[in-house]
A = this chain, B = another copy of it.
């Protein structure tokens, strides 16, 4: 667990330049210094390197000063404000220091402005080293040099610059293909998993979905005017590596409709390798719907009608089992964190949707538009779509976006007898018509 002495101290995460290029002397940072030891790469050492030799090293000298002050007093000292890029209303998180000396002057004047620029990453977070270096160079020129790959919503966060440089930096990177992400009451930056690019579980073209959805709402992203934030996340399968169910307003998750594929020879190998007891205890008995049964010849019986595509057995026996061929996506609406009504999960609004043709994709975009329009018109201020659904009820929301009810939307049918059902026959007929139609 201890850090080893580096083989090549000049090319190591613990490296600090011998000479300091910045003009402003470092503040004492005894507390932060304690975060330089230990084996994990230290962000403090990183900050110090910037304070030694970054293009805006004096800014980082003061930044370290303010941060140390926060560590000492256990309080934060930033406040927001308004900074924007010409033509856009969002995408910047402006920060101005609140830490003033007795004269009301900033205690750490060089970092008194320290804005973050949120930039959308490529779908799937793929980079060439060339492009990484290019982005880094641009930021070193116009900002602190410090980049977070990535923020929790998926943005590349270029952390720390002045109001002026915000524009300069944006102009530069925008010219070679990068655009701002979301901040404020708007469509936010989306996320998609590595998926089809390198994952056998993928049931969708995550990148295409991600780009199509977000790029369709660029106006809603760049000029914030929605009731509140709206996030898209795309996972290629129910493992949901993008945490989309809980952390996005509209989750698009790959799945399949036909039978999973079983390579019985590989199953037998797996059983031979791991033993029957392991297989029963760790696979068969962990299926949530008891859809698996191990035959006496060590082949696997799958009750595909009752398989809920949870992925568990496929995850564990990745060579023997795989997703089916009739792939598509499930849509869930309304996930978010805790404010106002407590955490919500997204809930199913479209159990299955094919995404083969361009028309299929078009339908997805249209539905997203319906959702955002209806929500934008009917939400209270600062109300996420999950809260709107909770307030007006799923059924009313579905009516608003022209979707039919479906039993896949519920985990339990109605338990409360408090309901008025005058129009039962009418509703029952709708269902019957849909079944025959």
Nearest CB in chain B: distance from A343 CB, A: 7
**Of residues 317 to 349 in A, which have CB atoms within 8 Å of B's CB atoms?**
338, 342-343
**Which A residues are within 8 Å of any B CB, using their own CB?**
277, 280-281, 284-286, 290, 293, 338, 342-343, 415-418
B342–A418 touching, CB < 8 Å: yes
Nearest CB in chain B: distance from A283 CB, A: 12
A342–B416 touching, CB < 8 Å: yes
Shortest Cβ distance from A295 into B: residue: B277
* B residues in contact with A343, CB < 8 Å: 415-416
A415–B285 touching, CB < 8 Å: no
* B residues in contact with A418, CB < 8 Å: 338, 342
**Which of B281, B290, B342, B417 touches A415 (beta carbons < 8 Å)?**
B342
Shortest Cβ distance from A292 into B: residue: B285
CA distance A417 to B293 in the complex (A): 41
Residue among A277, A285, A342, A343 with most chain B CB within 10 A: A285
* B residues in contact with A284, CB < 8 Å: 285
Shortest Cβ distance from A281 into B: residue: B293
Shortest Cβ distance from A294 into B: residue: B280
Give 18 A-B contacts (CB < 8 Å), ordered by A residue.
A277-B293, A280-B280, A280-B293, A281-B290, A281-B293, A284-B285, A285-B285, A285-B290, A286-B290, A338-B416, A338-B417, A338-B418, A342-B415, A342-B416, A342-B417, A342-B418, A343-B415, A343-B416
